[in-house]
Amino acid sequence: MTGECHGRVALVTGGSRGLGKAIAQRFAAEGATVAITARTMDPDPKYHGSLRETCEEIAAAGGTAVAVQADLSRSEERVRLFDEVVDRVGAPDILVNDAAVTFLRPLDGFPEKRARLMVEMHLIAPLHLTQLAIPAMRERGRGWVLNLTSVGGDLPDGPPFAEFDTDAGFGMYGTVKAGLNRMTKSLAAELYSDGIAVNAAAPTNPVATPGAGTLDLAKTDTEDIELIVETVFRLCTGDPKTSTGRIAHTQTFLREVGWLG
The residues assigned a catalytic role are 173
Q: How far is it, in rounded angstroms, from Cα 154 to Cα 37?
A: 28
Let me know the angle formed at the C-alpha of 180 by 66 and 120, rounded to the nearest 5 degrees: 65
Closest by Cα among 22, 28, 52, 58 to 38 = 52
Closest by Cα among 5, 40, 7 to 23 = 5
Per residue, what are the HEC states of 71-131? CCCCHHHHHHHHHHHHHHHCCCCEEEECCCCCCCCCHHHCCHHHHHHHHHHHHHHHHHHHH
Neighbours of 93 (CB within 10 A): 21
Q: How far is it, in rounded angstroms, from Cα 249 to Cα 203?
A: 6
Q: Is 33 exposed, middle or buried (0-12, 13-18, 19+ CB in 10 A)?
A: buried
Q: Which residues of 49-70 are buried (b: 16+ CB within 10 A; e: fewer)?
A: bbbebbbebbeeeebebbbbbb
